[in-house]
Amino acid sequence: MHFCLPNCSLCTKWHVYHLKNEEKISEHIFTETIPISDNFLLTSKGIGFSYLPNELGAYALGEVFLYIPFKELDTYLKPEFKQLIGIMGQ
């Protein structure tokens, strides 16, 4: 699972955090589980969810963008959806 944080005064790009298997999301935000957001986008490679400041963590954390590649969701995707987005048999 990956989550991104918007620009800070030290950076020109988003911060990208790649959680390790043993790492807990609660080390970075206020919760162990992340609710599904109504603010989402689909790409050809995955789904992204956007959370406003204070939704998941301190206001200073800023907007949080959670991106999940379809390959990590493979067992949950219907074959029809996989075919539609062109990932059948990958």
Q: What is the pLDDT of residues 67-88, one digit of tens each?
A: 888 888 888 889 998 888 887 6
Whether the full predicted model's pTM is greater than 0.85, yes or no, is: no
b/e sequence 23-54, b meaning 16+ C-beta within 10 Å: eebeeebeeeebeebeeeeeeeebebbbbeee
d(CA 27, CA 31): 9
On the CB side of 20, how many CA atoms lie within 13 Å of its CA?
A: 3
Tell me the pLDDT tens digit for each residue of 10-25: 444 455 666 677 777 7
Mean pLDDT computed over 28-34: 76
Tell me the pLDDT tens digit for each residue of 55-70: 888 887 778 888 888 8
d(CA 2, CA 34): 12
